[in-house]
Structure 1
Amino acid sequence: MLSRDSSPRRRRWWKMGLEACELPPPQSMSPENAVPRILVITPVRDERAHLAATIESMTAQTLRPTAWMIVDDGSTDGTGELIDRAAEEHSWIRGLRRPDRGRRKVGGGVIEAFDDGLARFDLDDFDYVCKLDGDLRFGERYFEALMEKFAADPRLGTASGKCWDKTASGWTLLRTSDEFSLGAAKCYRVECFRAIGGFVAEVMWDGIDCHRCSMLGWKARSFHDEDLRLYELRPMGASHRSVFHGRWRWGWGLHFIGTHPLYAVAIACYRTFERPFALGGMCILGGYLWAALRRVPRYPDPAFRRHLRRWQLARLRLS
């Protein structure tokens, strides 16, 4: 079980390196647990405008999660009251309120809230654990279709659908690699989640985890299936300040995790063709260069950074 006192263990694997680690074959669910036991944790902060749509999507699922914990991370817009009403109406929904720290904590804040919710459960009671954002809408077969993907591949450690963003011309698919589960809706096989040590409370946590999966021989995937569409009610890559700040933060995070400079340039060029056109890519590259010039400390796992750069250079050669 991951709990509040798991942080020392998590700090230790930063220094261990995992290049030579091997996992035993994944364990299948026992017959009595043939229906997947799914735990969903949703950290939110000032999401009243969007959370109602997420609650509506969750309560309509053909395969309902076993438990859903919505963690209010210090909201001041009435989000907590919305959570309370949902918990009163549905016994499998629970709410948790955290005190307002007075500011947003980029990267680490959402994972601290997630871990706080997770600590209220025993992972031995579940087969899958999901981190789900509170500003999404999705179809009624989302979790059923996702469980079908896990059942078809025993080495699939984490998975999600694909995100769609609303534009002036309608809903547009957000271009993301198939080799990552999306941070907005990560679902993990509990065995894999434990193996990687949970999420890291840092910027780019949602890329670090997928690379750690591959280091350990697990697969991370996002799927294009229609049943797995996730509709973002707020622009992906935007921060609470602006899209431009979100892109700058993205570039800063690329430096933090140890991204190769050539790969950072490639990402910036690739994203220039997305809204905000040209400026978004420039902000990504600007954030990366600013962090490099300021010698911002990097993610403290040399083995991880070596693995990341090998993967990135291999992708550049393929492209």
Structure 2
Amino acid sequence: MMTQRYVLISPCRNEAQYMRQTLDSVVNQTITPTQWVIVDDGSTDETAAILAEYQSRYDWISVVTRSDRGYRAVGPGVIDAFYAGYATINPDNYDFLCKLDLDLRLPRRYFEILIARMEENPTIATCSGKAYIEHDNGELEYERHGDETSLGMTKFYRVSCFKAIGGFVREVMWDGIDCHHCRMQGWIACSWDEPELRFIHLRPMGSSQQNIYVGRMRHGYGQYFMGTDFLYMLASAVYRLNEKPYILGSLAMLWGWLEAWLKGKPRYEHLEFRKFLNTYQWRALLVGKQKAIEEIMQKHQR
């Protein structure tokens, strides 16, 4: 029988504009969470009132309230808020856990399908669907993400694997580092672009910061911190030239990497990880990501 015990942990701050859509889409899932811990990270809008309303209606929703720091923290700040929620649960009581943002609209069978896929394939450590932006005319625009990663706004994890990789690092690029740590141990990190797993991202990536260019620069810095080689960063920027904002978005990514390098900013201290990452990235440039990952998996199977 499919195991269905899963817990959601949702860091949020000032999400009143979007959160009802996320709350309702989770409430209406074919398999509801065993528990949903929502961390109000110092909201100053109507977030707290909306959370109190849903908490009073569903006994599996609990709220953790943090004090207002005075600004929105992305990256490490989000993970600090996530762990404030994680500290309130015993992860061993669940088969799966998910870090879930509150600016999403999920399809009704979303978690049912993810659980089924992970039950079918025990080598999957983390997975997700794909994110789309919905325009005013109803047209959907794909937010481009590689198939070799689970998306940061909805990271669905096998609890045993999450614990084995040490969880999320409290640093920028946490949502890429975790997937590479999974591969280092012979597990799969993935996402699927299928109709029943496509979810709506109500706030475009990077727009929660000062502007989308700051978000792109931050991505470049994150790649630098993680240990990405400049040539791979350049190839990634070229690949994204036809992604909005055209050209300038790619240049912002490159500048984020270069600025960090020029300033001699610190990099992720896990040297074994950075060696693994560079080897994988060079193979990906030569043979493609899918083939490079297949080679990694084959080595673990020997």
| Inter-partner Cα distance in structure 1 for 2:160 and 2:287 | 32
1:269 maps to which residue? 238
| Inter-partner Cα distance in structure 2 for 1:265 and 1:165 | 26
Tell me which amino acid in the other structure corresponds to 2:209.
H
Matches for 1:59-98 after TM superposition, within 5 Å? 59-98=27-66
Tell me which amino acid in the other structure corresponds to 1:291.
A
Matches for 1:198-209 after TM superposition, within 5 Å? 198-209=167-178
| Inter-partner Cα distance in structure 2 for 1:109 and 1:71 | 12
SS at match of 1:83: helix
| Inter-partner Cα distance in structure 2 for 1:176 and 1:127 | 26
Q: Give every structure 1 segment of 4 or more consecutive aligned residues whose post-TM-superposition deviation is greater than 6 Å.
A: none
| Inter-partner Cα distance in structure 1 for 2:206 and 2:235 | 17
Return the offset for 1:57. 0.3
Question: Is residue 3–residue 95 contact of structure 2 (8 Å, CA) maintained in 1?
Answer: no
Return the offset for 1:211. 0.3
Question: Is residue 238–residue 247 contact of structure 1 (8 Å, CA) maintained in 2?
Answer: no
Return the offset for 1:81. 1.2
Structure 1, 101-110 or 62-71: larger mean CA deviation:
101-110
Q: Percent of aligned pairs with the same residue?
A: 45
| Inter-partner Cα distance in structure 1 for 2:58 and 2:278 | 46
Match of 1:183 among 137, 152, 161: 152
2:266 maps to which residue? 297
Q: Which deviations, in whole Å up to 9, do the C-alpha atoms of 1:175-217 show, x marking residues without a partner?
A: 2111100001001001100001111111000000000000111
Return the offset for 1:174. 1.6
1:136 maps to which residue? 104
1:117 maps to which residue? 85
Return the offset for 1:104. 2.7
Tell me which amino acid in the other structure corresponds to 2:78.
V
Tell me whether 1:306 sits opposite 2:249 in the alignment.
no
SS at match of 1:309: helix
Q: What residue ranges of structure 2 are gaps of 5+ in the alignment? A: 289-302
Tell me which amino acid in the other structure corresponds to 1:64.
T
Q: TM-score, normalised by structure 1?
A: 0.88
Q: What residue ranges of structure 1 are gaps of 5+ in the alignment? A: 1-30
1:9 maps to which residue? none
Matches for 1:17-36 after TM superposition, within 5 Å? 34-36=2-4
1:220 maps to which residue? 189
Return the offset for 1:167. 4.3
Structure 1, 303-312 or 168-177: larger mean CA deviation:
168-177
2:206 maps to which residue? 237
Tell me which amino acid in the other structure corresponds to 2:238.
C
Q: Which deviations, in whole Å up to 9, do the C-alpha atoms of 1:116-153 show, x marking residues without a partner?
A: 10111111110001000110001110011111110110
Structure 1, 272-281 or 128-137: larger mean CA deviation:
272-281
Tell me whether 1:283 sits opposite 2:252 in the alignment.
yes
1:44 maps to which residue? 12
2:296 maps to which residue? none
1:99 maps to which residue? 67
| Inter-partner Cα distance in structure 1 for 2:84 and 2:47 | 18
Return the offset for 1:166. 2.9
Structure 1, 108-117 or 270-279: larger mean CA deviation:
270-279
SS at match of 2:64: strand
Question: Is residue 110–residue 196 contact of structure 2 (8 Å, CA) maintained in 1?
Answer: yes
SS at match of 1:177: coil
SS at match of 1:49: coil
2:140 maps to which residue? 171
Return the offset for 1:168. 6.6
